[in-house]
Amino acid sequence: MNPDQASVRQQAVLQELGVDVWVRRHPEGEDVSAEVAVRASHVPTDIDAGDWSALNQTIRACTACELHRSRTQAVCGVGNENADWLVIGEAPGADEDRQGEPFVGRAGQLLNEMLRAAGRPREHVYIANILKCRPPDNRDPKPEEVECCMPFLQRQIALLQPKLILVVGRIAAQNLLQTDTPIGKMRGRIYSYGDTDIPVVVTYHPAYLLRSPGQKRKAWEDLQLAMGVTGEQG
C-alpha cells in the first residue's frame, strides 16, 4: 500500500502511532502458506458443547491450575462474538486482572490504535489470551498452565470461526503454533491454526512496541499482511 492508496483516516491513525505508510514486499518465491500444528488438548464435553455464556461461566469457575489461587478474577475475552478477526495475547496483567477484560492498560490502548489503523476497531474484533488468569508478577506461563487453559481458547476459536487469527507477542505465538522459533523469524508468514484453514499472522506485543517504538513499522507490515489475508487490500 502506498500513500495514494491509504485513506486519509488511516494515515491519521498511523501518524498517531508514529508509523509511515510504505510498501510491503515479499521475497520472490517465499512460502506464505505453511501449515503449523497446534498441541492437541483434551476438551471436556461441558466446554465443547457450551455456548459463549456457558464457556465464560466455566472459565470464571476454573480451578484447574494454581493460578486461580492468586487471581482477582479470570479474564474470559471481550469483543464481537461474530467477529472476523480474533486477537490472541499471552495472559492478563494487573490491570486486566482487576477489570476482568484483556488489554485494558497502556498496551491495550496501543493495540486499539493498531487495530483502528487496520480498519478493525476494538469493538469489531474478539480479543482473548492464551491464559485466562494472571501469572504472579507477570511471569511467563508454565506449560501445565497453558495445557489447562488451551481447551478454553480452542472452544473460543470453534465458536467464533474467525477468518483470521492475529497473535501478538512471542509467548502467545509460540504456544499457539507450538514452536520455539523467535518471533522475529515468525513474522512475515501466514500460518494455519491446527488442521483448519484459519490463517494466523504473528506480530509483536504492544507492550514490546511501547518499549521499542522503532519496531512499530514492522508491526504495521504485519497488519498489512493480515489485511491482505482477509481481502482488505491488494
Instruction: Name which of 145, 151, 162, 176 is nearest 46 in CA terms.
Output: 151
* Number of domains comprising the chain: 1
Mean pLDDT of 39-63: 75
Instruction: Answer yes or no: is 146 within a domain.
Output: yes
Instruction: Answer yes or no: is 210 within a domain.
Output: yes
Mean pLDDT rounded to a whole number for the chain: 85
pLDDT band of residue 46 (cuts 50, 70, 90) is low
**Residues linked to residue 187 through DSSP beta bridges, in sequence order:** none
Distance CA 201, CA 187 (A): 7
- pLDDT of res. 3: 44
Instruction: Answer yes or no: is 159 within a domain.
Output: yes
> Could you tell me the strand order of the sheet in which 199-203 lies?
78-79, 126-129, 85-89, 164-168, 199-203, 191-192
- pLDDT of res. 4: 47
What is the per-residue DSSP string for 123-146? GGSEEEES-SSPPGGGPPPPHHHH
Mean pLDDT of 60-85: 96
Instruction: Answer yes or no: is 110 within a domain.
Output: yes
Mean pLDDT of 188-202: 95
Torsion of CA 28, 33, 39, 45, to 10 degrees: 160
- pLDDT of res. 189: 95
Instruction: Answer yes or no: is 217 within a domain.
Output: yes
pLDDT band of residue 218 (cuts 50, 70, 90) is very high
Instruction: Name which of 88, 174, 170 is nearest 125 in CA terms.
Output: 88
Q: How far is CA 59 from the centre of its chain?
A: 18
Q: Please report how many Cα atoms fall inside a 13 Å half-sphere around the Cα of residue 97, on the Cβ side.
A: 17
Instruction: Answer yes or no: is 20 within a domain.
Output: no
pTM of the predicted model as reported, rounded to 2 decimal places: 0.81
Considering only residues 146 and 31, tell me which one the structure prediction assigns the higher pLDDT.
146
Mean pLDDT of 170-197: 95
pLDDT band of residue 174 (cuts 50, 70, 90) is very high
What domain range includes position 155?
32-229
Instruction: Answer yes or no: is 155 within a domain.
Output: yes
CATH number for position 71: 3.40.470.10
Instruction: Name which of 229, 223, 185 is nearest 22 in CA terms.
Output: 223
Q: What proportion of the chain, given as a percentage, has pLDDT over 90?
A: 75
Grid cell in block for residue 222: 504485519
What is the per-residue DSSP string for 143-194? HHHHHHHHHHHHHHHHHH--SEEEEESHHHHHHHHT----HHHHTT--EEBT
Read off φ and ψ for residue 158, nearest 5 degrees.
Answer: -65, -40
Instruction: Answer yes or no: is 2 within a domain.
Output: no
